[in-house]
Amino acid sequence: MKVVKKATEAKGCGGLGLQLPLIVRFPDVLKNRLEALQGAFDFAIQSQGYDSHYQGVYPVKCNQDRFIVEDVVEFGLPYRFGLEAGSKAELLLAMSCLCKGSQDGFLICNGYKDAEYVSLALVARRLQLNTVIVLEQEEEVDLVIEMGRKLGVPPVIGMRAKLRTKHAGHFGSTSGEKGKFGLTTAQVLRVAKRLEREGMLDCLQLLHFHIGSQIPSTALLADGVGEAAQIYCELVRLGAGMRVIDVGGGLGIDYDGSRSPNSDNSVGYGVQEYAAAVVQSIRLACDRKFVKHPIICSESGRALISHHSVLIFEAVSATKGASPAVPPLDFFIESLTDDARADYFNIRAAAIKEDYEMCMLYANQLKDRCVDQFKEGSLGLEHLAGVDSLCELLAKATGSLDQVRTYHVNLSVFTSVPDFWGIGQQFPIVPIHKLDQRPMVKGILSDLTCDSDGKIDKFITGESSLALHELEGGGEGNGNGNGNGGYYLGMFLGGAYQEALGGMHNLFGGPSVVRVAQSDGPHSFAVTRAVPGLSCGEVLRAMQHEPEVMFEALRHRAEECGIAALVGGIARSFHNMPYLSATNASAAAMFVGCGNGCY
C-alpha cells in the first residue's frame, strides 16, 4: 500500500502521479530466484559428483522488458548466465544486452530462422558472444553452412530434438513425436551425417529439447531428460563435438500452493528436486556410455521471473447486495393473463404454507409469462420491473439467490491477464490491504472491456468467487482510480508471459510500472524507476492513427462550434491513460476553463 500511495499521489504531494493499474517490479525477488536456480543446480552437481557445471539462460520471450533482461544479465554475471532468443528482434535485444554480460554466457538462438537471422547470429559470434544456433528444422542446416562460409564464421550448432516423451498437460503439445518443433530421430541423424560430409561435425556442440512449460512431475522430467541424454551420447559416438545439453524450459511453479502434479495450477516438485532430477538423469546416461559429463544449460523462464512482479488494480464499484424493495403489485394483477394471475395467487398460497420450492416454481413461471406479455405489448416497463423485484425478493427469502457479487475492476483481462482468458490459467489474487478485516463478500471480477470474456471467475482456491471486502459506501462507484481511498487487489506470479502476450482490446494499453528495491533494512524501500502506462495517444498511434492530426481535426471542429475553451480537456485526454482515472470533479476541471491546450 505504501508503494501504491507513493506511485499514485500527485507529483506536487510527493507522489509520482501515476495512474493505475500498476505493475510493481521487485528486482530483489528476481535476484533471489536466479540465485535459487543456480544454487539448486550447484548443489545437485556437487552432491552427485557431476563432472561439469550448470549455465542457465533466460528465454527473453517470457518478458522482454528492457529492465528485466538487464537485471537478469547483471544478476547472472557471476554465474555465466546467458539469454535465449526466438526471433530476430529478440536476438538483437539479447546481443546488445549480453555485450554487458558474462563473456561465457550462452546466447541460444532458437525459433524458425531465415538467412538474416542466421547471419545475425554469426555476427554475434564475431562480437565474441558465446552464440549457439539451434536448428529447429532440418533445412536450417543448409542456411547455417552457407551463411557461415559466406561470412567466414565457423558456426557453433545445436539441434533441437523431438523427444518421444510427452507431457499430458496444456503445454504438452510442444512435446512428443507429433510436437510442433524439433528434429525427428531420422532428421537428427541426417543432419549429423550432412555436417560430417561438410567436415563440420565438430561445430555440432549442443543438444536441446523442450518438453513443454509447467512439467508436472520429476518422473516425467527424468524420463524426458534421460531420453535426450541418450541422443546426446549417440551424437558423441557419431563424432560430434558435443559439450552442452540444454534441457529447455518447463521448470514449473506452484500457483495454487497445492504442490500437486495433478493440479493444472501447480507442479509436484520444487527447484531443488528439479535440478536433482536433471543432473541425475544426465549423469546416469553418460556414465553408462562412458561419455564425459556435458555442461547443463536450462531455459527456465516462468520459474525465474513469475515472482518478481505484482499487478495492482482497483475495484471501482460492485453490484449491490440484494435488497429489493418490492413495489405494491396489486396494480398489475388486472393486466395479467388468467394463467399468470393464477401463478401470482399460487405464490402467495405456497408462501403461507412455507413451501419454498413451489413458491420459486410459480415465481419463475410468472416471470416467464410476464416476459411473453411484455414482448406482445400487453405489459408495461413498470409491470416487468415489479415482477423482477418480486422474484428477487422471493429468491432471497428462500435462500436461492446467487449471493456472488460482481466487482468492476479498473483493468483489462486481455491486456494484463491474457492467460486467464486464453488458457484458463489461474493466478493468486488477493486484496493488498484491509488484511486485518475478514472479507465477508463473495465476488467475481469484471473488467473494463466491453467483452463478456473480460472477467475473472475462477480462482486458485478452486472456487468460482473470491473472498472480498465490502466496498466503502456499499459499493456503487466509490472508487476513483487515483489511489485515494479505493479498494486495491494484487495479482501475483504474473511476471512471465502476461505482459508479452497481452493485447490492446478496446485500446487499453499496458499498466504503469514502478521498480521497487529494498533500501535500508527490511521495512524501507525506494522506487528506483517509474514509467507511466501507455496514453490514449500512444495506443491510438499503435493502430496507425495520428494523434496530432486527430487533435487538430477536433480543435478545428470545436472552434467552429464555439467551444474552443473545452479543447484543453481533449488534449489532456490524449495524454492520459485509457483506464478509469478521474473523479467527476477533476474530470470536469480537466475540461472547463483550461483554454486551448495542444497535443
Provide the binding-site residues for ligand PLP, judged by CB under 6 A: 59, 62, 110, 210, 213, 248-251, 299-303, 496
Q: Strand pairing partners for 204?
A: 157
Q: Which is nearer to ligand PLP, 251 or 411 (CB)?
A: 251
Q: Is residue 329 within 8 Å of 485, Cβ to Cβ?
A: no
Q: Which is nearer to ligand PLP, 71 or 447 (CB)?
A: 71
Q: Which is nearer to ligand PLP, 209 or 459 (CB)?
A: 209
Cell matching residue 351: 408462501
Q: Which is nearer to ligand PLP, 302 or 383 (CB)?
A: 302
Cell matching residue 376: 406482445
Q: Which is nearer to ligand PLP, 110 or 187 (CB)?
A: 110
Cell matching residue 517: 528495491
Q: Which is nearer to ligand PLP, 238 or 500 (CB)?
A: 500
Q: Which is nearer to ligand PLP, 209 or 362 (CB)?
A: 209
> Among candidates 403, 402, 429, 435, which has minimal Cα distance to 416?
429
Distance between CA atoms of residues 566 and 587, nearest Å: 12
Least CB distance to ligand PLP at residue 343 (A): 57
What phi and psi values does residue 8 have, to the nearest 5 degrees? -100, -20
Could you please report the per-residue DSSP string of 222-274? Answer: HHHHHHHHHHHHHHHHTT----EEE--S-----SSS---TTSTT--S--HHHH
Q: Is residue 444 within 8 Å of 315, Cβ to Cβ?
A: no
Residue with cell 468467487: 465
Angle formed at CA 476 by CA 471 and CA 482, multiple of 5 degrees: 70
Question: Where are the alpha helices (H) located in 448-583, listed in sequence order?
Answer: 498-501, 536-542, 547-560, 567-575
Q: Is residue 576 within 8 Å of 591, Cβ to Cβ?
A: no
Least CB distance to ligand PLP at residue 107 (A): 14
Least CB distance to ligand PLP at residue 122 (A): 21
Shortest-Cβ-distance residue relative to ligand PLP: 249
Pairing relationship of beta strands 512-518 and 525-531 according to DSSP bridges: antiparallel
Distance between CA atoms of residues 20 and 5, nearest Å: 11
Least CB distance to ligand PLP at residue 249 (A): 2
Residue with cell 518447463: 250
What phi and psi values does residue 51 have, to the nearest 5 degrees? -100, 35
Sign of the C-alpha dihedral computed for residues 182, 183, 184 and 188 taken in this order: negative
Distance between CA atoms of residues 505 and 502, nearest Å: 9
Q: Which is nearer to ligand PLP, 110 or 309 (CB)?
A: 110
Least CB distance to ligand PLP at residue 49 (A): 27
What phi and psi values does residue 129 have, to the nearest 5 degrees? -95, 140
Q: Is residue 437 within 8 Å of 467, Cβ to Cβ?
A: no
- What amino acid positions are annotated as catalytic residues? 450
Distance between CA atoms of residues 566 and 558, nearest Å: 8
Least CB distance to ligand PLP at residue 203 (A): 21
Least CB distance to ligand PLP at residue 206 (A): 13
Least CB distance to ligand PLP at residue 311 (A): 18
Q: Which is nearer to ligand PLP, 251 or 296 (CB)?
A: 251
Q: Is residue 394 within 8 Å of 430, Cβ to Cβ?
A: no
Distance between CA atoms of residues 379 and 336, nearest Å: 8
Q: Which is nearer to ligand PLP, 250 or 479 (CB)?
A: 250
Least CB distance to ligand PLP at residue 503 (A): 19
Which segments of 43-173 are extended strands (E)? 57-59, 82-85, 106-109, 130-135, 157-160
Least CB distance to ligand PLP at residue 50 (A): 21
> Among candidates 313, 325, 317, 314, which has minimal Cα distance to 470?
317
Cell matching residue 558: 470545436
